[in-house]
């Protein structure tokens, strides 16, 4: 439930700036999950900064399956967006952490999601994406660099033998 001055969650259990723990009870799709907060009930969470394909479209089932395998029935940490706590569907906007791994960022890194940045937000998913960009590995040139080889070495040895 929401009120104009902030949000009500039990006895202000999810105050801004505080990370809370919960149990993932259900995965709706790649960017929406339900989390149980014990006596405070179950709340629907929208992963902030990322957008996965909708179910029934290409990549939608794969994104949901990744989130299922990653965190279903696991204890997670929730970092609620301080600047905007809810989306238009009253889902809590947050970053989810599993063992200190940012799930939102992992969805980008594994290409299950695209960036969606809707201000105001304390999070900048472009920074997550930049962290995911692989550093190019230097490659050898496609044409080999000419070397002097054994023929030249034997020629030098032959010349030295004649001089000696």
pLDDT in tens, the chain (164 residues): 444 334 444 435 565 667 789 999 999 999 999 999 988 899 999 999 999 999 999 999 999 999 999 999 999 999 999 999 999 999 999 999 999 999 999 999 999 999 999 999 999 999 887 766 555 555 555 665 566 666 766 677 777 777 76
Size of the chain in residues = 164
pLDDT score of 92: 94
In contact, 47 and 76? CB cutoff 8 Å: no
Q: What is d(CA 156, CA 61) in angstroms, rounded to the nearest whole number?
A: 68
* 92-98 and 75-80 beta bridge pairing: antiparallel
Ordered by start, the domain boundaries in the chain are 2-132
- Tell me phi and psi for residue 84, to 5 degrees: -150, 105
Provide CATH code, domain 2-132: 2.40.50.90
H or E stretch at 51: strand 50-51
Q: Is 137 in a helix, a strand, or coil?
A: coil
Give the bridge partners for 22, in sequence order: 76
pLDDT score of 2: 41
Among all chains, which residue has been given the structure tokens 């050898």? 140
Question: Smallest Cα–Cα separation from 49: which of 96, 1, 100?
Answer: 96
Burial of 148 from C-beta contacts in 10 A (0-12 / 13-18 / 19+): exposed
């Amino acid at each position: 439930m929401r009120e104009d001055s902030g949000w009500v969650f039990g006895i202000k259990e999810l105050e801004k700036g505080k990370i809370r723990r919960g149990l993932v009870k259900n995965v709706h799709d790649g960017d929406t999950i339900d989390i149980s907060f014990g006596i405070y009930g179950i709340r629907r969470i929208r992963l902030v900064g990322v957008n996965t394909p909708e179910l029934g479209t290409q990549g939608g089932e794969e994104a949901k399956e990744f989130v299922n395998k990653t965190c279903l029935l696991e204890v997670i940490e929730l970092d609620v967006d301080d600047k905007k706590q809810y989306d238009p569907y009253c889902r809590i906007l947050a970053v989810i952490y599993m063992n200190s791994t940012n799930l939102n960022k992992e969805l980008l890194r594994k290409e299950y999601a695209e960036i969606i940045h809707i201000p105001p937000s304390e999070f900048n998913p472009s920074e997550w994406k930049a962290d995911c960009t692989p550093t190019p590995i230097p490659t050898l040139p496609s044409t080999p660099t000419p070397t002097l080889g054994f023929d030249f070495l034997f020629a030098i040895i032959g010349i030295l033998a004649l001089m000696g």
